Structure 1
Amino acid sequence: MKNKRRLAALLAGFMFAGALPGCGSGTGDASSPDAAASSSAGNDDISIGFVVKSLSDSFYVLMKAGAEEKAKEMGVTLNFIAPNSESDVQAQVDMIQNLIGQDIDALCVSPSSPEAVLPVFEQAYSADIPVLAVDNDTTFEHKVTFIGTGSEAAGEIGGQYAAEQIGEGGKAIILRGRLGDSNHDERESGFRKGLEAGGVEILEVRACDSESEKAMNAMQDLMNRYSDIDVVCTTADSMAQGAQRAIEQAGVDIPVLGFDGTIPVAEMTAEGKFMGTVAQDPYNMGVVGVEEAVKAAKGEAVEPRIDTGAKMVTPENAADFVADLKKKMGE
C-alpha cells in the first residue's frame, strides 16, 4: 500500500509537470478555493502515528491540538498517543511498536529516551515507515527529519534573562527533566551558559522528571538546604508549577522561570506569579509534524532539520502570548 501510494504520487507529479506551460510562472493562486481543496486531495488513505512523552504536560496538549487541526485540514488519519508519564519509557516503546503493527504510513515521535527507541525505529524503517523526530531528537540514522527547538540555544536565552533580572552575584537552582533525556540535557546546558555568563552561581541541579509533584518536593528540600536562592530555572513548565507551589506554601519570594511556554504558566506570568517562561512553539511542532509526515508518506523531499524557534515570555508580553495561543486552540 505505501509503495503503491508513493509511486502514484511520483507519476502524478510527472504528469502535472508536463501539463504546465512553464515552471515558476507565478500565475497560480495558493489562496484560491481550488488550491485549498487540493491540499487534502489524495490524503484520505494516509495514516500517521504521533507518539509524545506524556499528555499530562500541557506542552504536548498544545502539540496535539496543532497536529489534529492540520490532520483535519489535510484529510489524513491521525493517531496521537502518549504514556501516562514521561518516565515510562517502555510504555512509549510499546506504543510505537503497536502503531507499526497497524501499518501506518508515517511515524512522528518525541522520544522519552533517544536510545531506547532505536530498535523500534529500525522496525519502522524495515516496514517502510518513515520516522520523524519531533521536539526531541534521536540518533537514528534513517530518520527523515528533526522538527523542534534548538534546546541549548533556547535554554541560554532563559539563563541570560534570569541573570539580567537577579543581577551578578545571584544564586540559582536548576530543576530539570529526566537524566539522559537529550532535550533536558541541552536545556540545562543552555541555562548554565546563560546564568554563568551573567555572573550567577548555580547552587544545585536537581532532576525531577518533568513532574510537578516531584519538583514541589524537591523545592521544599532545597529551600531547607539553601537560605539564599535568588531564582529557580526549570527545563519544563510542569516543574515550574510545582516549584512555585512549594515557594508559595513556604511564604517566601523566589522567582521561578519555566520552559515551554504553556498557557497556565504564561497566564501566571502575566499575573506576576512567574518570572517568565522560555516559549517553544508546540502547536506549530504538531502542525509541521503532520505536514512533513504526509510528505514523507508520499515519498516527497523533507528538509533534514526544521527549527520551530523559541522566545522569552515575560510579564510584559505574556497576555498577548496567551491570547494568541488560545486563538490557535479555538478558545
Structure 2
Amino acid sequence: MKKNWKKVLLLGLLTVLTVGTLAACGSTGLDSGSSGSSAKTSKKASKDLKVGVSLSTLSNPFFVQVRSGISTLAKSKGTNIQVSDAQNDTAKQNNDIEDLIQKKVDVLIINPVDSSAITPAVKDANEAGIPVIAVDRSSDGGKVLTLVASNSTKGGEMAADYMIKKLGQNAKVAELQGIPGASATRERQKGFDNAVKGKLDLVTKQTAGFDRAKGLTTTENILQAHPDIVGIFSQNDEMALGAIQAVKASGKKITIVGFDGEAGAIKAIKAGTMSATVAQQPEKMGRLALQAAFDHFDGKKVKTNIESPLQLVTSDNVK
C-alpha cells in the first residue's frame, strides 16, 4: 500500500513539473491585464518594435488617414512598421497576417475586412504570442489586446436623431449598409434602426459594401423601387458620395447623412449636396492604436476598449 502511495505522489509531482515547464515555454507577449494572452516577456523600447499593420483597404480615404496616424507616430519614435492592404478581400487579409506572423512582428494592428472571417488569423497570432490590436472594427473570435474605435452604435443614433429632426415623423427613408460581416455595419445599423423605430418609416436597407460605386448603383435601384423616399442614411461617406450622384441624376431632393467625416463628405456638405456626416477621427485612431502597443511593451495596463470621439458635422458647423 505504501509503495502505491509513493507512485501516486511521484506521478502527481511529475505532472505539476510538466505543466509548469509547458507554461513557461513560448512566453512572448506582455500581459497588461487586458491582453488576450497571459504570456509575458521583457519590456521593449518603441524604437526596437516591429509592428505589422493590416488594413481592410487603402482605396478608402478613411483608412489612408488611419495609416497616416500610425506612420506619423512610428516615424517620430523610430518604430519599424510593415503595412499591408487587404483590398477588402478576407482571404488576402488572412494571408497577409500569416505572412506578418512568419516575419515575427512584435505586435499586430488589424482593421478587419470582416469581423468573423478574421478570427482564424487572430487565433494564429494568439498562438504565436503576438498581441493583436483591432482598429475601427472588432474581431468576433480570438483575443485582442484592445479595440480602438468610435462608438458606432452611438454614431448611428446621432444620424437618426438628426434625420428625425430634419424630416419629421414618419418620413420615408432608406439605409445603405456596409460589408455584412463588419462589426461597424452591425453597430451602425443597430444604433440607427433602434433610434428611428416608430419615428421614421425605414422602407428599405440594402448593402453597398462601404464602396462608392456600389453606393451609386444601389441608390439608383432604391430610387426606382421607392421613389417617395426623402432621406438616406449611409453607413459610411464613400457610399454616401455615390448616393449623391444617383440623387443628382434623378433630380430629386433627398437628405443624405453619411458616417466618417472624410474630406469628400465635408466638401459635399459645404456644397449643399449632402446634409450631414457623423465624423470620426481616423488619424487619431491610428495614433491611439500604435500608442497602445507602446504602452503594452512598456508594461502599462491597456484598456480593453479605447474610444475615439465622434462629432456630427452639418451645414451649421461645417466651417
TM-score normalised over the length of structure 1? 0.81
Corresponding position of 1:220: 220
Deviation, 1:125, is 1.5
- Which of 43, 60, 64 is matched with 1:61 structurally? 64
| Unmatched runs of 5 consecutive residues or more in structure 1 | 11-41, 320-331
Letter in 2 for 1:165: K
Corresponding position of 2:15: none
Corresponding position of 1:290: 290
Cα distance, 1:173–1:43 mapped onto 2, change above 3 Å: same
Q: CA separation in 1, counterparts of 2:182 and 2:42?
A: 39
Cα distance, 1:78–1:2 mapped onto 2, change above 3 Å: farther
SS at match of 1:158: helix
Q: CA separation in 1, counterparts of 2:294 and 2:115?
A: 23
Corresponding position of 2:43: 9
Q: Which whole-Å deviations, capped at 9, do the CAs of 1:193-227 have from their partners, x for residues lacking one?
A: 23235x11001000011111111111111111112
Corresponding position of 2:114: 113
Contact 1:270 1:316 in 2 (8 A): no
Corresponding position of 2:205: 205
Q: CA separation in 1, counterparts of 2:98 and 2:247?
A: 41
Q: CA separation in 2, counterparts of 1:8 and 1:125?
A: 17
Contact 2:126 2:142 in 1 (8 A): no
Contact 2:29 2:130 in 1 (8 A): no
Q: CA separation in 2, counterparts of 1:69 and 1:194?
A: 38
Letter in 1 for 2:118: V
SS at match of 1:312: strand
Deviation, 1:150, is 1.4
Corresponding position of 1:316: 316
Deviation, 1:4, is 10
Corresponding position of 2:50: 47
Task: Name which of structure 1's ranges 140-149 and 156-165 shifts more when overlaid on structure 2.
Answer: 140-149
Letter in 2 for 1:221: N
Contact 2:123 2:142 in 1 (8 A): no
Aligned pairs for 1:10-159 (under 5 A) are 42-84=45-87, 86=88, 88-159=89-160
SS at match of 1:318: coil
Q: CA separation in 2, counterparts of 1:141 and 1:92?
A: 16
Cα distance, 1:119–1:4 mapped onto 2, change above 3 Å: closer
Deviation, 1:299, is 4.4
SS at match of 1:9: coil
Deviation, 1:7, is 5.2
Corresponding position of 2:232: 232
Q: CA separation in 1, counterparts of 2:195 and 2:318?
A: 22
Q: Which whole-Å deviations, capped at 9, do the CAs of 1:142-189 have from their partners, x for residues lacking one?
A: 211111011111111111111111111211000011212221011011
Fraction of identical pairs, as percent: 26
Letter in 1 for 2:304: P
Q: Which whole-Å deviations, capped at 9, do the CAs of 1:119-151 have from their partners, x for residues lacking one?
A: 221221122210111110123352111110111
Contact 1:158 1:194 in 2 (8 A): no
Q: CA separation in 1, counterparts of 2:115 and 2:299?
A: 25
Give the root-mean-square deviation of aligned CA atoms.
Answer: 2.0
Task: Name which of structure 1's ranges 166-175 and 290-299 shifts more when overlaid on structure 2.
Answer: 290-299
Q: CA separation in 2, counterparts of 1:247 and 1:300?
A: 50
Corresponding position of 1:247: 247
Letter in 2 for 1:235: Q
Corresponding position of 2:6: none
Q: Does 1:277 align with 2:277?
A: yes
Deviation, 1:251, is 1.9
| Unmatched runs of 5 consecutive residues or more in structure 2 | 1-25, 31-39
Deviation, 1:240, is 0.2
Contact 2:133 2:144 in 1 (8 A): yes
Q: CA separation in 2, counterparts of 1:109 and 1:158?
A: 27
Q: CA separation in 1, counterparts of 2:28 and 2:179?
A: 38
Q: CA separation in 2, counterparts of 1:128 and 1:59?
A: 30
Q: Which whole-Å deviations, capped at 9, do the CAs of 1:249-272 have from their partners, x for residues lacking one?
A: 222211211011111101211221
Q: CA separation in 1, counterparts of 2:245 and 2:60?
A: 16
Contact 2:73 2:290 in 1 (8 A): yes
Q: CA separation in 2, counterparts of 1:285 and 1:214?
A: 26
TM-score normalised over the length of structure 2? 0.84
Q: CA separation in 2, counterparts of 1:7 and 1:100?
A: 17
